[in-house]
Amino acid sequence: MSEAPRQITLREWDRRYERWQAAGVPQPAYGGPLGRHVADGDTRLLKLRFDNSPAALRLWNFLLTEEDRLRAARAGGKRLVGTMKDLGTVPVMAYSLDNLVAFYPDGAWWIPCVMEVNSGLLQIADSLGIDESFCPVRAMLGAFVTEAHFPIPDLLTCSVGATCDDFSAIAQRLNGLGHPILWWEIPHRRAPEEGEEAVLLPGGFSAPKSQIEFVKSELQRVRFALEDLAGRSLDDEMLARGIAQANEVRRLLAQLQHLAFTAAPCPMPALEMLIAEMLAIHFCSDRAETIAVLRELLEEVNRRVAAGTGYFPADAVRIFWVNPVADLRVMNLLEDCGGRICGTEYLFTHALDPIPVDVPPLETLAQMALADPMVGSAIDRATRIIAEICRFGAEAVIVSRIPGASHCALEGEIIAEMVREECGLPVLEIEVPPLTDAMAPALRTRLEALVETVRDRRSR
């Protein structure tokens, strides 16, 4: 089954799957042809190109069967926790209790893309007064109304405060629709003042000890709520075990990133890497399977690196990508235009950093929450991005804005200016709505022009 890496269409995947099935190649329980997801309405898949490895097929099937997994978990007696906005802290706590399953309702922001806006979720959000001036995460409202994309969770948590304004408005509207939310506050991360006890956070930021204590007290409230839901206590030992498992996910992702961003040829395309990175936030509703999926992906990448096989010509332009794209197809487009990803900042770098294990569990989780790039200043975020750009040797940067997302509008320009000034690299700012078909020629021109610019710079 080990073939040369190649990006293939969904139809090619389905033909290949038939051959595997006939040959008795084992598949996970959620395995199957990708085409069945199109039958469920995920028509965007027909326009994507996928990595041809069995590991990639497993990754996609894992991602696209999350709803089935959630319903099965509920049917099996588990309680569901919808963890909104914090991007990687509460799920670590929830998965420390073996009868809870956490998921990320915000993930519904990709449904308008994957279903090519046929889901009607955005129209429902419109009807609820949350129109296109808000981030596409508003699709989540429609998903709660239709109950067609995930079961209604037994507990909803949401971080609020120094998170994005439009998300808070969307979550407040959800609360108003009769879905009570356990709000927990995350303050704006600030530098310690003179005389204040400082704590060095993962990612290189620092915050006053008092802010850590505050977030810890907020997470303590979340812990109590999780204990109530689970009907059992969540002690530090259980949390420590949960943290160890989360760290295993992060360790695998760090290895994957390192190889995918630095190896030549590139061993894994941008689209699969984006999906893999997203698993860090909430484990796609199955932490153990997340680890298995990532291990297989890493094995494939290691195999390719060892064999010297991979993607893209040697002169592919090394791009650092900032912010996730609402339309997955754009990751394919970048590669069509001669670019390859060598570094990403998809707004959740704190969910990829190892969780320190030398401090008590709740304190370390409070540190992680405060290390969120979205709860500090744009300059903090840009500083970290610049460090990553240098680490991975990027030649250009793309800042991809999410329409309606307030932080993108505010932070994109600051990040772009700092990168230009400190790294001297060309920076392209683009906006990527859930469907880019109408603007694909214009997007292509920009991406091609960026690639041309870098290639011309090389010849200086």
Q: How many CB atoms lie under 10 A from the CB of residue 424?
A: 8
In eight-state DSSP terms, residue 192 is: P
**CA distances, 7 to each of 260, 317, 418, 436 (Å):** 15, 18, 35, 20
Q: Is 33 in the site for another protein (CB under 8 A)?
A: no
Given a contact cutoff of 8 angstroms between Cβ atoms, the answer to whether 32 and 17 are in contact is yes
Of 45-53, 175-183, 261-269, 444-452, the window that binds another protein (rule: CB under 8 A) is 444-452
- Return the range that interacts with another protein (CB under 8 A); candidates 74-82, 338-346, 367-375, 427-435: 427-435
Selected from 15, 71, 241, 420, the binder of another protein by CB under 8 A is 420
* Smallest distance from another protein to CB 430, Å: 9
Residues in contact with 17: Cβ distance below 8 Å, sequence separation at least 6, in sequence order: 32, 33, 34, 57
Does residue 449 touch another protein according to CB under 8 A? yes
The least distance separating another protein from the CB of residue 439, rounded to whole angstroms, comes to 7
Q: Name the residue nearer to another protein (CB basis): 115 or 443.
A: 443
Say which residues have a Cβ less than 8 Å from residue 28's Cβ, sequence separation at least 6. Answer: 58, 61, 62, 289
Number of amino acids touching another protein (CB under 8 A): 20
| Binding piece for another protein, criterion CB under 8 A, among 70-78, 160-168, 212-220, 419-427 | 419-427
414 interacts with another protein by CB under 8 A = no
User: How many residues appear in the chain?
Assistant: 460
Q: Which two tokens stand for residue 78?
A: 């588990």
Rounded Cα distance between 247 and 257, Å, is 15
The answer to whether 221 contacts another protein (rule: CB under 8 A) is: no
Interface region with another protein, contact rule CB under 8 A, candidates 45-53, 191-199, 387-395, 452-460: 452-460
Report, in Å, the least distance between residue 327 CB and another protein.
14
What's the one-letter identity of residue 357?
V
Q: Is 241 in the site for another protein (CB under 8 A)?
A: no
Are residues 48 and 271 in contact, defined by beta-carbon separation less than 8 angstroms? yes
Taking the complex as a whole, how short is the minimal distance between the CB of residue 188 and another protein, in angstroms? 26
Tell the smallest beta-carbon distance from residue 318 to another protein (Å).
17
| 52 binding another protein? (CB under 8 A) | no
Q: Which residue type sits at 69?
A: R
N-to-C CA span, the chain = 44
Does position 313 bind another protein by CB under 8 A?
A: no
Does 11 sit near another protein (CB under 8 A)? Answer: no
Using the rule CB under 8 A, give the single segment among 137-145, 233-241, 284-292, 451-459 that binds another protein: 451-459
Angle between helices 139-146 and 165-176 (to 10 degrees): 20
Q: Which stretch binds another protein (CB under 8 A): 96-104, 147-155, 244-252, 439-447?
A: 439-447
Question: What residues between 63 and 82 interact with another protein by CB under 8 A?
Answer: none
Least spacing, CB of residue 8 vs another protein, in Å: 23
How far apart are alpha carbons 361 and 205 in whole angstroms? 19
Give whichever of 256 and 333 is closer to another protein, judged by the CB atom. 333
**Strand ranges (DSSP E) for 323-444?**
339-345, 396-401, 427-431
Q: Which residues contact 267 (CB under 8 A, 6 or more apart)?
A: 5, 259, 260, 300, 301, 304, 305, 309, 310, 311
Q: Which amino acid is at 430?
A: I
Question: Counting contacts by CB under 8 A, is residue 441 touching another protein?
Answer: yes
**Percentages helix, strand, coil for the chain, rounded to the nearest 5?**
55, 15, 30
In this complex, which beta carbon is closest to another protein, that of residue 196 or of residue 429?
429
Does 453 sit near another protein (CB under 8 A)? Answer: yes
Give the up-direction half-sphere exposure of residue 418: CA atoms within 13 A in the CB hemisphere.
Answer: 17
Q: At its nearest, how many Å lie between another protein and the CB of residue 428? A: 8
Residue 445 CB, shortest distance to another protein, in Å, is 5
Q: In the Cβ-directed half-sphere of 348, how many Cα atoms lie within 13 Å?
A: 18
Q: Which is nearer to another protein, 237 or 452 (CB)?
A: 452
Chain residues that interact with another protein, rule: CB under 8 A: 413, 417, 420, 426-429, 431, 439, 441-442, 445-446, 448-449, 452-453, 456-457, 460
